[in-house]
Amino acid sequence: MNSDLRREYLAGLGLVSWTLRAAEAEVANSPEPNPASAVPAIVPATELADTPAREAGADWTELRARVAACVRCGLCATRTQTVFGVGNLNAEWLIVGEAPGAEEDRQGEPFVGRAGQLLNAMLHAVGLAREQVYIANVLKCRPPGNRDPGVSEAAECLPYLERQIALLKPKIMLAVGRIAAQNLLRTDKTLGSLRQRVHRFGATQVPMVVTYHPAYLLRTPTDKRKAWEDLKFAREVCFRV
């Protein structure tokens, strides 16, 4: 990516005047590092309980139909429609949020509106277009009033996401937001303690990196630089997979 385009993308992320610190510049100009030491050691994720393989064997078309007809929890009574996911079915990056919001519930697509625009800018900052990744949520239905997903709701919906991961075979997952990260990792640890570490998800042990939700960054723009560090970290992890 040329420098002018990179500056444009960083401006969209709110990092207009990003410059390398001296130590970073020295690393950038140094010989190729040893791959074994380029990425911090993998931190094992919290042990995950096996979820029922209820979606095993479903292809993309069948899985979408199952989600659309789902009545496994009470959210089916309040949704406008399910929000299955969107993106490139050959994507190396899988972006996972917590649940649809009001606009996503209306449009049937994850991460639209201002939060979606910021997510697009975040992806562009590391050289990715929205069309190159796959975007989904832990929950496929909107919780009323945008409340946090319930434990049982997340547990009922997780097999859908697990099947999406099995079909997609991503090189890396990017969990955006505390709720998504805590549900995926079955932990109550803070988002700050989960950042800048490589976790592993599911039976295939997909590398997963945690960062802030775009909606949070819109409310707290001072943390955009931290999100940028997370994106660079995730890109490096992906390169090493």
CATH code for the domain in which residue 98 is found: 3.40.470.10
Query: Structure tokens of 95?
Result: 């972006």
Whether 18 is in a domain gets the answer no
In a domain, 14, yes or no: no
CA distance 99 to 193: 22
Asked if residue 24 belongs to a domain, the reply is: no
Helix ranges (H only) for the chain are: 3-13, 22-28, 35-38, 60-68, 102-107, 113-125, 151-168, 178-185, 191-194, 214-219, 224-240
Q: Look at residue 33 and tell me whether its pLDDT is greater than 50.
A: no
Decide if 17 is inside a domain. no
Q: What is the pLDDT of residues 76-98, one digit of tens each?
A: 999 999 999 999 999 999 999 99
Domain region containing 191 = 3-9+40-240
For residue 174, tell me if it sits in a domain. Answer: yes
Q: Indicate whether 22 belongs to any domain.
A: no
Reported pTM: 0.81
Quick check: is 16 in a domain? Answer: no
**Is 87 in contact with 131 (CB distance < 8 Å)?**
yes
Domain count, the chain: 1
Whether residue 19 lies inside any domain: the answer is no
| Beta partners for residue 208, in sequence order | 173, 199
Bridging pattern class, strands 172-176 and 134-137: unpaired
What does the mean pLDDT of the chain come to? Answer: 85
**Residue 48 confidence (pLDDT):** 40
